[in-house]
Structure 1
Amino acid sequence: MRGVPFSVPAPLRRRAALCGALLLATSCGWGGTGGEDGGRLPAAPTGVTAEAGSATSVHVMWNAVTAGDGIDGYEVYRGTTKVKEVPASEHMVDVTRLKPSTTYVFTVRARDTEGRLGPSSREVRARTPAAAAADRSAPTRPSALRGRAVGSRAAQLSWSASRDDRGVVSYDVHQGGVKIHSVGGGQTATVVTGLRPGTRYAFTVRARDAADNVSPAGAVVRLTTPGSDDGRAAAPTGFRAASRRSDGAYYIDLSWVPPRTDGVITEYEVHLDGRPATSLVFGGKPPRDRATYSFYVGREAGVSHRVRLRPRLPDGTWGGFSAERTVTTGTAATGRQPR
């Protein structure tokens, strides 16, 4: 955990002033269990599991953690050594460069957007299998993949076992082209959680052996979770739009508050006059409080445009649209009227 300087940080000075005014210091988090600025630390991740993925790798998974200040990422430890850091949108990781025939202990800690680390999760253990010498043969692809929705936010998948000359160590579950889950080689069914109601998903499964040879993907199974989700809960809020002139051309300046999700949103799709106009992807650390973006719309004044945008959520699906704004080039209007 980062060290605390001797001088009192500005957040602590502000919180101390507030607590003094209220004469209720304990209500402001001075009980000794908070972070550097007195706020509550993130909770310990739950649902942590570890499965050997090969003779030299282990797949670690956990449930998302929620926190008042938001989660910025997770740290994964092998024993007391930090081996991986992942962003808040990811709840799994492959720990590689391990030794065959060895038992390892893993824990996970959550880090919030203020940089504070929460307590460690419970310890989980996984043992890597023995190395397979000169094994270049991948397992056969899993067959007979079947899936069904389990409620509106989960799906149950099952498949027939793959064959391998040395034995299958694990199965990787992919949603679209992204690996989202892994189970041991003796398991041919699993439940995928964290889905959205009323959403269509496509899953595939691949088999992996001890030498890290991976099979081709089995057939795609498609399913739709029941219920309705118009995306409003995952739509940007506080959406604003204004026209701006620069070097003889007109631009539309946008700003919005990103929706709160379990992970970080890095991509948005902007619609202009009812059609997709452009996509933007934030590199580095995406904004969480208010995001801004500007794009070119031409050189003619007096032209009205309707604009809105939607986020791509951490599970790969699209969230809901923001309110729609109308902006006219060459005017100072902000287009606050919703459609």
Structure 2
Amino acid sequence: MRVVPVPLRLCAVLVLVPSCAWAGPDGGESGRPPAAPVGVTAAAGSATSVHVMWNAVPSAEGVDRYEVYRGPTKIEDVPGSQHMVDVTRLKPSTPYVFTVRARDTQGRLGPPSREVRATTPAVAVADRSAPTRPGDLTGRAAGSRAVQLSWSASTDDRDVVSYDIHQGGSKIHSVGGDQTAAVVTGLRPGTHYSFTVRARDAADNLSPAGATIRLTTPGSDDGRATAPADFRATTRLGGDGAYYLDLAWVPPATDGVVTEYRVHLDGTAATSLVFGGTPPRGRATYSFYLGREAGESHRVRIRARLPDGTWGGLSEERTVTTGAPAAP
């Protein structure tokens, strides 16, 4: 894992990209193609399908669509408002490589994402038995833009490969067969939603839907549900005689991967950071230079860019003083 600090004047792109420009609205770059999608994942949904997800790409001109590639071949066009797709008609027991590119409303095509790999499982001969329906579906609103769902596992005469999550009559998400929980983001405040879950096996047999759960997101968002948790901030004196700010936090729960954060110092956005490779699911840490003066106090908070492209809530604010003993 590598963490790359990205000053706000610089292009907030993926690691090891040297070009720079003035940032446009919401972090996009005016007059430039959209950045490569980050947080790309791929997981087999059955012996003949793979579920591909990615984080929404901020763009000054807006993203018109995403192009999904299997190896060098474009196989799907996905509307810019979505950031997941089921790639179907694949071969069982076969490894696949996927990348995603964003195209903005001006027609400019951004660079490809990093490659992600998935292998479809073998299909059982003459498997016509569907898994049992998932049970005990429960959920709660997690702020005004997300819900948390959980259910009891289905059984199958062979194996459950994935669970499909439906919002109303539309499939909106998929998780692996070993998971019985999900966080659905990108919802609207003050809105009624209904969710169901279905289990799928390697032969693409789909279970009946479990019980429907109805949830309502609150009309206002205090940001706590999408804010980094257990945020800590301390200062230390480095070997070069300068003071550094050490941060630690737990990433917010989302239905995708959080790769980007913004640090606010004394009420102002001070720096952004992008995790290259595999971002941490557990506790994350980051350090940056403060200066050489002792006795300087600073207020610091942090927020995450969510997979739907919006900024989550700000963490609790911490106050630190260079040269002062760390708080117990």
Task: State whether TM-score is above 0.5.
Answer: yes
Give per-residue Cα distances to partners, 1:85-123, cap 9 Å, x unaligned. 122232211112222122212111111111111111222
Q: For residues 200 and 116 of structure 1, what CA distance do their matches in structure 2 show?
A: 37
How many residues align? The count is 199
Give matches, 1:10-49, under 5 Å: 39-49=31-41
1:138 is aligned to 2:151: no
Q: Give the Å deviation of 1:144.
A: 0.3
2:234 equivalent in structure 1: none
Aligned to 1:203, the other structure's residue is in SS state strand
Mark the CA change 1:129 to 1:192 in structure 2 (over 3 Å): closer, same or farther: same
Q: For residues 186 and 27 of structure 1, what CA distance do their matches in structure 2 show?
A: 43
Q: For residues 216 and 104 of structure 2, what CA distance do their matches in structure 1 show?
A: 33
1:50 to 42, 46, 49: 42
Aligned to 2:76, the other structure's residue is in SS state strand
1:183 is aligned to 2:175: yes
Question: What's the % identity of the aligned pairs?
Answer: 78
Mark the CA change 1:138 to 1:27 in structure 2 (over 3 Å): closer, same or farther: closer
What is the identity, as a one-letter code, of the residue corresponding to 1:205?
Answer: V
Aligned to 1:134, the other structure's residue is in SS state coil
Q: Give the Å deviation of 1:46.
A: 2.2
2:209 equivalent in structure 1: 217
Give the CA RMSD over aligned residues. 2.4
Q: For residues 225 and 66 of structure 1, what CA distance do their matches in structure 2 show?
A: 25
Give per-residue Cα distances to partners, 1:132-170, cap 9 Å, x unaligned. 111111111110001112222111111001111121110
1:193 equivalent in structure 2: 185
Q: For residues 165 and 154 of structure 1, what CA distance do their matches in structure 2 show?
A: 34
1:170 equivalent in structure 2: 162
Q: Give the Å deviation of 1:181.
A: 0.3
Aligned to 1:97, the other structure's residue is in SS state coil
1:66 to 37, 58, 65: 58
1:114 equivalent in structure 2: 106
Mark the CA change 1:114 to 1:139 in structure 2 (over 3 Å): closer, same or farther: same
Q: For residues 227 and 49 of structure 1, what CA distance do their matches in structure 2 show?
A: 31
Mark the CA change 1:184 to 1:79 in structure 2 (over 3 Å): closer, same or farther: same
Mark the CA change 1:134 to 1:43 in structure 2 (over 3 Å): closer, same or farther: same
Q: TM-score, normalised by structure 2?
A: 0.57
Q: For residues 55 and 183 of structure 1, what CA distance do their matches in structure 2 show?
A: 15
Task: From the CA coordinates, give the structure whose radius of gyration is larger.
Answer: 1
Mark the CA change 1:114 to 1:146 in structure 2 (over 3 Å): closer, same or farther: same
Segments of 4+ in structure 1 off by > 6 A? Answer: 26-29
Q: Give the Å deviation of 1:28.
A: 10
1:100 equivalent in structure 2: 92
Give per-residue Cα distances to partners, 1:267-311, cap 9 Å, x unaligned. xxxxxxxxxxxxxxxxxxxxxxxxxxxxxxxxxxxxxxxxxxxxx
2:265 equivalent in structure 1: none
Q: For residues 94 and 173 of structure 1, what CA distance do their matches in structure 2 show?
A: 13
1:83 equivalent in structure 2: 75
In structure 1, runs of 5+ residues without a counterpart are 1-25, 230-314, 316-339
What is the identity, as a one-letter code, of the residue corresponding to 1:220?
Answer: T
Q: Give the Å deviation of 1:127.
A: 1.4
Mark the CA change 1:210 to 1:40 in structure 2 (over 3 Å): closer, same or farther: same
1:244 equivalent in structure 2: none
Q: Give the Å deviation of 1:27.
A: 8.4
Q: For residues 27 and 200 of structure 1, what CA distance do their matches in structure 2 show?
A: 41
Q: For residues 169 and 142 of structure 2, what CA distance do their matches in structure 1 show?
A: 22
